Amino acid sequence: MSHAVQDAGPDTSAWGWVKSIVSWLLLLVLVAILALTIVIPRLTGSTPYTVLTGSMVPTYPPGTLIVVKPHDPTALTAGDAITFQKESGKPEVVTHRITMVRKNSQGETTFVTQGDANPSPDTNPVVPEQVRGKVWYSVPYMGYVNSLITGKQRALMITVVVGGLFLYAGWMFVGAFRERSRDQSASPDRM
């Protein structure tokens, strides 16, 4: 006497569908966040920065992750949000909007900048050498996460996520292979 154990198969109940949809949505959100905050900036030579102050509210409130793409300073115009060195050659940067582009008597370009929430322009004009780039896009609240995670931790996180995705793909492949083998062994032999 032989007993066959029948596989229940995928959960097709309403709760099973909800779990499946939520799982896929979480995976898509995670992949989108990783792409926007790490992969795209790295591939394009852009730099992610965290907004620390309220000078650019409401456009970029504190905690916003901005991605700054290198940009030709001669192509910048009034209205562009740029990230620039506060002092030429120093690492501290500021992100403000260009309110005016000026040329001095020697033909050198300078930018008058101002934070969106600030009542008056910045006191010192910005020279092209100070410009790190133009704000390309922003991701609200992700700046907080960016501030907590160091470069080494980011690299480890990417490795773990990519490794996890490969393991999941392998698990799905093996599961499909086993299911196919079970289906073939359960079907009657043809002569």
* Contact call for residues 146 and 65 (beta carbons, < 8 A): yes
- Which top CATH class is 48-147? mainly beta
Q: What is the pTM of this model?
A: 0.72
Q: What span, in angstroms and rounded, lies between the C-alpha atoms of 53 and 111?
A: 21
Question: Residue-wise over 42-54: b if at least 16 C-beta within 10 A, else e?
Answer: eeeebbbbbbeee
The domain limits of the chain are 48-147
The pLDDT tens digits for 7-30 are 555 667 888 888 889 988 988 898
The pLDDT tens digits for 56-76 are 999 999 999 999 999 999 999
The pLDDT tens digits for 146-191 are 888 877 887 788 788 888 888 988 888 888 888 888 878 776 655 5
Q: Which of 88-102, 103-117, 131-145, 170-184 has the lowest mean pLDDT?
A: 170-184
Report angle CA 89, 91, 94 to the nearest 5 degrees: 105
CA torsion angle for 146, 150, 153, 157 (degrees, to 10)?
20
